[in-house]
Amino acid sequence: MLVSPTTGVSLRVETHGTPTDPPILLISGAAASMDWWEPAFCDRLASRGRLVIRYDHRDTGESTSYPAGAPAYQGHDLCTDALAVAAACAASPVHLAGVSMGGGIAQRIAAEHPTLVASLTLIATSPIAPAGPLPPPAPRIAALFSDPPPPPDWTNRDEAIARLVADDALFGGDLPQDEASIRAVATLVYDRTRDLAASNTNHWLLDDDTPFTGTMSDIKAPTLVLHGTADPLFPYPHGEALAAAIPGARLVPLPGMGHQFPPRPLWDTTIDELVAISS
């Protein structure tokens, strides 16, 4: 367990690979613990000569948790946490790879701390600064936010795991859901998370007392954008806009992927691209 020297927050951190290899910090999305970066994925990436670092955001997994509905932190604090993890595990600069909200965190770190970032990989995310009009979420996702279903009993193991599996399917794309592997991850999430109600509530309530005031052109690190062609939350033009807004960024479509961590059929492509950008 890492205790951040700047905030005192406890963060569960895990590394895969050799400490002297180039470090890649994997940053999860909102309400997502490090479990969604599956160990098999991390080990395969580590076998390609990378030190892979994954961690639990606060309010996920085994990291510091707050009462559901009352997070005692702001959005920018999650950037501070990522920087603390990187500093504790590897010498600067590090390669950053973030999914969804994790991609937003990675963008902000790269813009505000350019000397600390060796490369940037942005997966299933959207620009954190204005980048022109972008398409809205698919109707099923818009309905989820406008009229959310009642939460399950997060203390009921079977009910909570079923909801996590169903949510993955809801945000999925055109690829068949590997329900067995998703259920295995969801089970681990349930068993490791201090407070699932907080985990599935608090990130959605975050404000930011230090909003980002820069531009996408402040990002100087070599940048890779991996975006699913069937993303229902951030449709594919979000990925196109992101790549267009960051100088020199390269866009790689992930066929059929939705708004999710890269599923197993896309691991080869994802790992090849992460190794290339971090070389």
Q: For residue 15, what are the β-bridge partners?
A: 53
The predicted pLDDT at position 228 comes to 98
Cβ contacts of residue 137 below 8 Å, gap of 6+?
145, 232, 233, 234, 235
Residues of the chain with pLDDT under 70: 5
The predicted pLDDT at position 91 comes to 87
The predicted pLDDT at position 208 comes to 82
- Contact between 254 and 262 under an 8 Å Cβ cutoff? The reply is yes
Select the CATH number that applies to the domain covering 2-277 from these four: 3.40.605.10, 3.60.15.10, 3.40.50.1820, 1.10.3210.10: 3.40.50.1820
- Contact between 15 and 37 under an 8 Å Cβ cutoff? The reply is no
DSSP string, 240-264: HHHHHHSTT-EEEEETT--SSSPPG
* Residue extents of the structural domains in the chain: 2-277
- Contact between 128 and 103 under an 8 Å Cβ cutoff? The reply is no
The predicted pLDDT at position 67 comes to 97
Place of tokens 């290339």: 276
The predicted pLDDT at position 87 comes to 95
A 10 A CB-CB count for 150 gives: 5
Q: What are the two backbone dihedrals, phi and then psi, of residue 12, each rounded to the nearest 5 degrees?
A: -80, 125
The predicted pLDDT at position 3 comes to 79
A 10 A CB-CB count for 190 gives: 21
pLDDT digits (tens, 9 = 90+) for 99-119: 999 999 999 999 999 999 999
Q: Which helix (H) or strand (E) holds 169?
A: helix 157-171
